[in-house]
């Protein structure tokens, strides 16, 4: 956890937003408006891992908002109360040559993913690692060869998915949260895609005699949609559905990869080869 993330839900007083104490709506700092309770992982991280005390500061950020510093005003066995101030936009490189202070989070790379639904126990690792690298949206999709019960697992609930993604962006020290959704089949996912009028490139990742993903290049301002099957892969019927919607097949070699390895590798190749790491 390289940044502690919070949101309106962590507001200490029910009416604090209406009272105008939330800086990012009024460009003001906050005084004692946010709280983490003892059963919150963030409370445990601040108290047990960072070993902070009242008056100490830590790197924090608003989910989908600014990056800044939080100061602890109250710390007990029950809760932590803190104020938050965003890093000022004109705070550049310090006189001593220190690194430039972050004021805004990195934008999400314009990469959308259709992922064949993996085993729920793998889901946390997959989403955490992918979110730490960065992508815009993921569709968790039921497949012909996938186990239907995975979609109904408690580990696959929207609340858990959001938690996994938050783990990833906090690892990356960022605040922008990728979007996510669920679909029961490839056809349903592509129907939703068509309804959303997606205009970018469409890449089907598969094993076969196809061009290497390392040769793929995005044009400036373009979005890309990549598809990765669950561990048993895509059926020919699903491949045909993708091809009918204009997907172009690319390969990541002849080795059969686990879903998490395939997704992490594909994102890394796309990000590195298209200037997102520069």
Q: What is the average per-residue pLDDT within 251-275?
A: 94
Distance, CA of 148 to CA of 52 (rounded, Å) = 45
Do 194 and 72 fall within a single domain? no
Residue 142 and residue 233 share a domain: yes
pLDDT of residue 233: 87
pLDDT (0 to 100) of residue 100: 56
Q: What is the pLDDT of residue 26?
A: 42
Task: Show which of 86, 119, 139 is a domain's final residue.
Answer: 86
Q: Which residue has the higher pLDDT, 248 or 20?
A: 248
The residue assigned the tokens 């709280």 is 35
Q: Say if residue 134 is in the same domain as residue 48.
A: no
Listed in sequence order, the DSSP H helices in the chain are 23-26, 41-44, 120-133, 158-171, 186-195, 236-244, 259-273
Q: How far apart are CA 71 and CA 148, in angstroms?
A: 46
Q: Are residues 63 and 138 in the same domain?
A: no
Calpha distance 48→106 (Å, rounded)? 29
Q: Which two tokens stand for residue 262?
A: 């395939």
Among the ranges given (21-35, 38-52, 185-199, 252-266), the one the predictor scored with the smallest mean pLDDT: 21-35
Window from 3-17, 31-45, 207-221 with minimum mean pLDDT: 3-17
Q: Rounded to an integer, what distance in angstroms lies between the CA atom of residue 148 and that of residue 90? A: 52
The answer on 150 and 62 residing in a single domain is no
Percent of the chain with pLDDT over 90: 67
Q: Is 97 among the domain residues?
A: no
Residue 53 lies in a domain: yes
Considering the domain boundaries, does residue 94 fall inside one?
no
On the question of pLDDT at 68 being above 90, the answer is yes
User: What does the pLDDT average to over 77-87?
Assistant: 90
Judge whether 89 and 71 are in contact, CB under 8 Å: no
Domain check: are 147 and 255 in the same one? yes
Is residue 9 in some structural domain? yes
Give domain status of residue 210, yes or no: yes
Pair of tokens at residue 110: 């314009």
Q: Say what the pLDDT of residue 201 is.
A: 95
Question: What 3-state class would DSSP assign to 154?
Answer: helix
Which range has the worst mean pLDDT, 19-33, 71-85, 178-192, 240-254?
A: 19-33
Q: Are 194 and 225 in contact (CB under 8 A)?
A: no
Q: Which two tokens stand for residue 246?
A: 């204009």
11 closest CA partner among 28, 32, 33, 26: 33
Structural domains in the chain (count): 2
Q: Which of 37, 260, 60 is nearest to 170 (CA)?
A: 60
Torsional sign, CA 106, 111, 113, 119: negative
Q: Is residue 106 one of the residues assigned to a domain?
A: no
The reported pTM is 0.86
Averaged over 150-174, what is the pLDDT?
A: 92
24 burial type by CB count under 10 A (0-12 exposed, 13-18 middle, 19+ buried):
middle
CATH code for the domain in which residue 35 is found: 2.40.240.20
Strand pairing of 34-37 and 79-86?
antiparallel
Three-class SS state of 79 = strand
Highest mean pLDDT, choosing among 39-53, 84-98, 190-204? 39-53
Residue that finishes a domain, picked among 53, 86, 119: 86
Q: Based on the domain organization, do 153 and 244 belong to the same domain? A: yes
Q: Which residue, chain included where needed, has tokens 């104490």?
A: 21
- Distance separating alpha carbons of residues 256 and 169, to the nearest angstrom: 28
Position 24 scores a pLDDT of 38
In tens, the pLDDT along 109-149 reads 999 999 999 988 899 999 999 999 999 999 999 999 888 88
Mean pLDDT (whole number) for 251-255: 91
- Judged against a pLDDT cut of 70, whether residue 21 lies above it is answered with no
Q: Do 124 and 193 share a domain, yes or no? A: yes
| 29 lies in the same domain as 133 | no
Q: Is the pLDDT of residue 276 over 90?
A: yes
Share of the chain above pLDDT 70, in %: 88
91 found inside a domain: no
The residue segments making up the domain with residue 269 are 111-273
Structure tokens at 182: 């669920």
40 and 124 assigned to the same domain: no
Identify whether residues 138 and 20 lie together within a single domain.
no
- What pLDDT is recorded for position 101? 60
The whole-angstrom separation of Cα 230 and Cα 141 is 9
Compute the mean pLDDT over every residue in the chain, rounded to the nearest whole number: 87
Lowest mean pLDDT, pick from 36-45, 46-55, 79-88, 263-272: 79-88
How far apart are the C-alpha atoms of 271 and 277, rounded to whole Å?
6
Looking at the fold, whether 243 and 147 belong to one and the same domain comes out as yes
Residue 69, strand partner residues: 59, 85
């Amino acid at each position: 956890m390289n940044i502690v993330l919070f949101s309106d839900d962590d507001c200490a007083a029910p009416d604090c937003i209406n009272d105008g104490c939330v800086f990012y709506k009024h460009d003001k700092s906050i005084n004692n408006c946010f709280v983490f309770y003892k059963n919150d992982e963030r409370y445990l991280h601040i108290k047990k891992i960072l070993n902070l005390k009242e008056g100490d500061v830590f790197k924090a950020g608003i989910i989908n908002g600014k990056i800044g510093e939080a100061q602890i005003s109250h710390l007990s066995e029950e809760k932590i109360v803190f104020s938050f101030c965003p890093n000022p936009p004109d705070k550049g490189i310090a006189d001593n040559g220190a690194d430039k202070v972050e004021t805004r989070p990195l934008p999400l790379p314009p990469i959308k993913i259709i992922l064949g639904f993996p085993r729920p126990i793998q889901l946390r690792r997959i989403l955490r690692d992918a979110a730490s690298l960065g992508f815009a949206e993921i569709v968790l999709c039921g497949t012909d060869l996938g186990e239907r019960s995975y979609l109904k697992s408690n580990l696959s609930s929207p609340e858990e998915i959001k938690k996994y993604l938050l783990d990833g962006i906090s690892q990356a020290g960022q605040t922008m949260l990728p979007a996510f959704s669920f679909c029961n089949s490839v056809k349903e996912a592509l129907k939703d895609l068509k309804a959303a009028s997606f205009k970018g490139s469409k890449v089907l990742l598969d094993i076969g005699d196809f061009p290497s993903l390392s040769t793929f290049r995005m044009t400036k301002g373009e979005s890309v949609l990549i598809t990765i099957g669950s561990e048993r892969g895509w059926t020919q019927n699903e491949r045909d559905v993708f091809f009918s919607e204009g997907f172009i097949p690319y390969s990541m070699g002849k080795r059969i990869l686990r879903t998490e390895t395939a997704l992490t590798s594909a994102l890394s190749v796309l990000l590195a080869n298209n200037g997102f790491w520069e």
